[in-house]
Structure 1
Amino acid sequence: MGATLRAVRAFVLLSGFYLLGLGLLALLGAVDWASWVWAPAAVRLKIFVLTVVLAIPVVRGMFMLRTPRDGEPGGLLVSEADEPRLWATVRELAGQVGTRAPDEIRLTPDVNAAVSEDARFLGLLGGRRRLFLGLPLMAGLDEAGLRAVLAHELGHYGNADTRLSALTVRGRVQVGRMIAMFHAKADAKVAQERARQEKKSEKRVAKGKSAKEVDTTGTGVTYRVMAKIYSAYGRLYLRATLSGARRQELAADLAAARIAGRDATARALREIHAIDAAHDFYLSSYATLGTEFGLLPARGEVFGGVRHLLAARAGELAGLREELPQEPASPYDSHPPVAERVARIEALPDDGRSAEGTGPALGLLTDPEAALAAVEDVSLTPEAQRMRRLAWPELVHESMSARVAQGAEELRTAAGGAAVTLPGLLDAIDAGSLWEIAGRLPKSEEAAAASGRVAREFARPALRRGLSAMVTDELLRSGRARWELSWSGPATLHLADDTADRLPAALDAATADRPDTGPLRALLAPAAPATAH
């Protein structure tokens, strides 16, 4: 389907939104006319009020709502002087695709590449073009893979996909806002009716009568019916536009295979799937490990640190590249399944071009470290930028240590508050207060109902966990324990001397039926200085 026909289809679908509104207004007008002719005067007035109330949001949706203008595009704007190699590569690929190069390149913190265009006249006339390129994506690709990705995105320009996106998005936004408006009005009616009934019940109770149960069944039903009508059209709109979007992705894949090579394009798609999964894990387990405590990695490492993870977990990533998800295609997906896209590309005839890259994609940047830091500056919130920055080893140690201290809070509270020290707790245990403290710990309903030895067995694991956290916190503060960073697995706690061997038995002794804190006290005692011979 050519650009002109796709523009006509997008315009017809958007027009359908307005035609639906006109149809509903005509229906409401017909109801008013019928009530005027046949309904009694009292009923006629109620119908008039109802149709006017329903007509107002329809009219607002048709003539008063406007798709909000986008704000400043995100990412870091880089000029040709800033990044000459990247711009030269993009211009070269645009020439091979047979399309105009973008007017802007913006570096972003995402595992993604995308293009946009400020098109005019229903998408028939082009406008300013922007290419968005994620640095974490570049961190996981070589130059051959990046060229395939760029050829794919530029293929969207060549197929005029970006010209029509604003028109189709406007229709989705308009329908979605109408649905949300009707649901909001229905919810407001329910809240109003609930408040009215609750106030009435309060008056009944004040008079010594029993309160009636609040019942809002049927309230706001007309608004919800209107929302369902627009929802049905919205599903039709999404199916029609997103099926076209999936075809556009497949066409862009073919452009990438033609320009960058079959094998490089298929490998890039497999690589992106693996990078995306690794990046999600990296953000949750590494980059944001210390944000709860006001800590962030060193400048440039928030988005750039994923490179360390990708290098350390090559074996896991190889498995992700081979085991592509075979999720069923949904009519509401904007992209075909990755497995289908890869299969289509790999089924193309061998073009004789190798899939091997010529170097890391970040090598196309003049100064990758500076670019990673600059993208942080324009992407992180002001609150995040005020956080304390630490090198990775210190970040892991301080963040994990803070979590250990956090894990001891329940036991500290049960023992008397945050000011309770470990020696003070051990003194309380020696004084016979262990099970009294255990009784103040949070517990399940089953544990709360237990007594005697059964209650102790319920409480013992929580006691042991809390005491272990307090002991570990003490060891960390004294320098006898340290958390160590690992990019290939979880952070590990290293304890000095033979502490790791002695600690389990000492904890068991302190939480036994007849507690003995001696082993713990001996373990926590400072090591005796070596004697010279």
Structure 2
Amino acid sequence: MIDTRATGDTCPECGTATVAPRGALLWCPACEWNLEAYDAERIGPFFGWRWLDRRIHGIGYRMTRRQFDRLRGRPLGSSGVGAAAIVTATASCLLFLGVVALAATGIWLLVAFSFPGPSLLLAVPLLALAIGLRPRFGRLDPDADVLRRDRAPELFTLVDEVAQAVGAPAPDVIAVNADFNAYAATVGIRRRVLCLGLPYWGSLVPQERVALLGHELGHFVNGDPRRMLLTQPAFTTLGSAADLLRPTPLTAPGLIEWMGAALGRIIQYPLSRLLFTLHVALVCVALRDSQRAEYLADEMSAKVAGTAAAKSLLDTALRVESMSLAVRRESRAGHGPQRWQAAVAESREASADELPPLRQLSGREEAPLFSSHPPTGLRHLMLEGVQRHDPAVVLTQQRSSRIDNELTKEYESARRVLAW
């Protein structure tokens, strides 16, 4: 049980009693005094230096709040292309062209000069670097079980209905696994994948399942840079280059070899650190646009499942640890999704009064500079600030049960994994 009682102190700004759930640093629930504070014990390190971690946390917190204030109160779908999206797309194009230039130069050195020759000493490293930095196509999770339409027609039909309501293309692949999560991704060039973690899916009430599908399918049309092949270089190229240039320990046996390796380190280390710094800065910018896409996916979720269901789904993120424990406990007892839902419902009822402070606390603990998702509490507030929606797709309990019956075999596999 979370203790949300006041610590005995009062806010120096407004005089309201402060709160400190889960042993967090206290803050004021009225004016949010001290909510920005860096709680090293709960947030964890970014780079390992306390002074730098505190500064990074403060920057991330303020950037997250500024973006929330800019987007709140207006339709997210009409927010337009922001500066972060332009920077990410431009950087990705330039980085991709740089990799192409490396490959082209290496090939030119091989073709233009006699083989073998001195040009080989430069051509081979350039080609190896181009291969190492090339964009990668995503791959299907090998631990996921791919479903067929004839095996789960009710689930596929529901996904098709939600996709149509959201205005997104239906996924090419629907898969399930034993994770307490769900995601939408693109593998290959344009192969869209929806993966449902059965412990998570099985513990949700019917309309929350619709909200989950609406959110995940919304990622196919919300411009999320993390799911686009064209913006992949912004997330990977500079980081990969920094890793490739990172100096190795000096192990050369002779003096001349050791001096050569040491000279290489003098060149490699600053160049590797420079590339890593640029990588961190670019990823930070790109993730601002990713957070905007998450807000938009939440709005799509509300349009298809109803605002109440979308907000309820967000609250599950605040309880994910207790929900996971309840599902694992029932799995070890040999129970399936019906008992999962009952156990999770009991946990939710017991913690209903604790949600408001936990939503506020997420504003501190889920606002790192490098987070791809906005804080859950801010996502909840964002839905409160836009037009309220009634559900466009309604999933009845009977239909939800039929979907669970289709997945009996997969549920049993997931239950065994959880039991272990």
**TM class, shorter-chain normalised?**
0.5 to 0.7
Change (3 A) 1:338 1:65: same
The alignment's TM-score, normalised by the length of structure 1, stands at 0.49
Sequence identity of aligned pairs in percent? 21
Greater relative CO, 1 or 2 (CA 8 Å, sep 6+)? 2
Which runs of structure 2 are paired with 1:131-530 in the superposition (5 Å)?
131-161=194-224, 165-183=228-246, 186-188=247-249, 190=250, 192=251, 220-274=265-319, 276-279=320-323, 281=325, 297=332, 309-310=343-344, 313-318=347-352, 321-322=355-356, 323-324=358-359, 325-327=362-364, 329-351=367-389, 358-359=396-397, 364-375=403-414
Give 1:58 deviation, angstroms. 6.8
2:158 maps to amino acid: T
1:269 maps to amino acid: L
1:336 maps to amino acid: P
Change (3 A) 1:251 1:20: same
Give 1:172 deviation, angstroms. 2.3
Aligned to 2:130: 62
Unaligned runs of 5+ in 1: 25-51, 121-126, 201-215, 288-295, 385-391, 396-533
Change (3 A) 1:349 1:70: closer
2:238 maps to amino acid: V
2:163 maps to amino acid: A
Cα distance in 2 between the residues matched to 1:279 and 1:155: 25
Tell me the SS of whatever aligns to 1:348. coil
Residues 182-209 of structure 1: per-residue CA shift (max 9 Å, x gap): 22xx233x3x16x769xx9xxxxxxxxx
1:245 maps to amino acid: S
Give 1:108 deviation, angstroms. 1.7
Change (3 A) 1:7 1:270: closer
1:256 maps to amino acid: S
Give 1:259 deviation, angstroms. 1.7
Residues 482-510 of structure 1: per-residue CA shift (max 9 Å, x gap): xxxxxxxxxxxxxxxxxxxxxxxxxxxxx
Residues 375-398 of structure 1: per-residue CA shift (max 9 Å, x gap): 578xx6xxx9xxxxxxx8xx9xxx
Tell me the SS of whatever aligns to 2:292. helix
Aligned to 2:26: none
Aligned to 2:90: 12
> Quick check: 2:147–2:173 contact (8 Å CA) kept in 1?
yes
Change (3 A) 1:375 1:304: farther
The alignment's TM-score, normalised by the length of structure 2, stands at 0.61
Residues 95-126 of structure 1: per-residue CA shift (max 9 Å, x gap): 11122211221112122221123475xxxxxx
Give 1:249 deviation, angstroms. 0.7
Cα distance in 2 between the residues matched to 1:353 and 1:179: 48
Residues 295-333 of structure 1: per-residue CA shift (max 9 Å, x gap): x958887x9986575355344543564422222623311
Aligned length: 315
Cα distance in 1 between the residues matched to 2:335 and 2:91: 45
Aligned to 1:493: none
> Quick check: 2:92–2:231 contact (8 Å CA) kept in 1?
yes
Cα distance in 1 between the residues matched to 2:383 and 2:171: 26
> Quick check: 2:225–2:232 contact (8 Å CA) kept in 1?
no
Tell me the SS of whatever aligns to 1:341. helix
The answer to whether structure 1 residue 78 and structure 2 residue 147 are counterparts is yes
Cα distance in 2 between the residues matched to 1:103 and 1:21: 30
Change (3 A) 1:139 1:66: same
Which runs of structure 2 are paired with 1:104-115 in the superposition (5 Å)?
104-115=173-184
> Quick check: 1:270–1:321 contact (8 Å CA) kept in 2?
yes
Aligned to 2:11: none
Cα distance in 2 between the residues matched to 1:354 and 1:70: 32
Unaligned runs of 5+ in 2: 1-78, 103-119
Cα distance in 1 between the residues matched to 2:93 and 2:342: 51
Cα distance in 2 between the residues matched to 1:22 and 1:342: 43
Cα distance in 2 between the residues matched to 1:54 and 1:279: 56
Aligned to 1:102: 171
Tell me the SS of whatever aligns to 2:405. coil
Cα distance in 2 between the residues matched to 1:70 and 1:119: 6
1:365 maps to amino acid: D
CA RMSD after TM alignment: 4.4
Give 1:267 deviation, angstroms. 0.8
2:210 maps to amino acid: R
Cα distance in 1 between the residues matched to 2:226 and 2:368: 25
Look at both structures and tell me which one has the larger radius of gyration over its CA atoms: 1
Give 1:258 deviation, angstroms. 1.6
